Amino acid sequence: MKRVITYGTFDLIHHGHINILRRAKEYGDYLIVGVSTDEFNAIKGKNAYYPYEERKLILEAIRYVDEVIPESDWGQKVKDIKDYNVDIFVMGSDWEGKFDELAEHCEVVYLPRTEGISSSKIKEDLKDNE
């Protein structure tokens, strides 16, 4: 069984999220999603609309996702790869090159993002429409 892992905040789930999860799942049999905790988002200077537990619940309902784990710091990826016997690490292409060092532990794949959509864009559009 091939295991795939990806990470993100996954706030305001949209079709771009679904696309990347679907394409990540196509690389293996089991997809693990590391979701940024609220505390980790604060360290990154991000503010999610939904708290971690609600984002986790939403992701668990998506058919491509087999398991959701908390992401609480930048350095946990190697440990997760080892602990979950991960074969492939997948991230969006906007992170290209940022995780190449993980290639000594598993295959690293960067997938193109869905054009024209992001949680940040949704938040901006909503603010513009107020």
- Active-site residue flag, 77: no
Provide the pLDDT for residue 27. Answer: 98
The one catalytic residue in 2, 25, 46, 77 is 46
Q: What total of structural domains would you count in the chain?
A: 1
CATH number at residue 91: 3.40.50.620
Q: Give the model confidence (pLDDT) of 18-43 as tens digits.
A: 999 999 999 999 999 999 999 999 99
The one catalytic residue in 2, 25, 44, 127 is 44
- Active-site residue flag, 79: no
> Residue 50 in contact with residue 83, Cβ under 8 Å?
no
User: Three-class SS of residue 56?
Assistant: helix
> Residue 2 in contact with residue 88, Cβ under 8 Å?
yes
Grade residue 113 by pLDDT with cuts at 50, 70 and 90. confident
Provide the pLDDT for residue 14. Answer: 83
> Whole-prediction pTM value?
0.90
- Which domain range does residue 34 map to? 3-128
CA atoms of 28 and 3, how far apart (whole Å): 6
| Tokens of residue 123, six digits | 């938040």
Provide the pLDDT for residue 77. Answer: 98
Provide the pLDDT for residue 3. Answer: 98
Residues linked to residue 7 through DSSP beta bridges, in sequence order: 34
Provide the pLDDT for residue 12. Answer: 85
> Residue 77 in contact with residue 7, Cβ under 8 Å?
yes
For residue 108, give the amino acid letter.
Answer: V
Q: Give the model confidence (pLDDT) of 56-98 as tens digits.
A: 999 999 999 999 999 999 999 999 999 999 999 999 998 999 9
Q: Where are the alpha helices (DSSP H) in the chain?
A: 15-25, 38-44, 52-60, 77-83, 119-128
Provide the pLDDT for residue 47. Answer: 87
| Tokens of residue 77, six digits | 């990826």
Q: Give the rounded distance of the alpha carbon of 101 from its chain centre.
A: 18
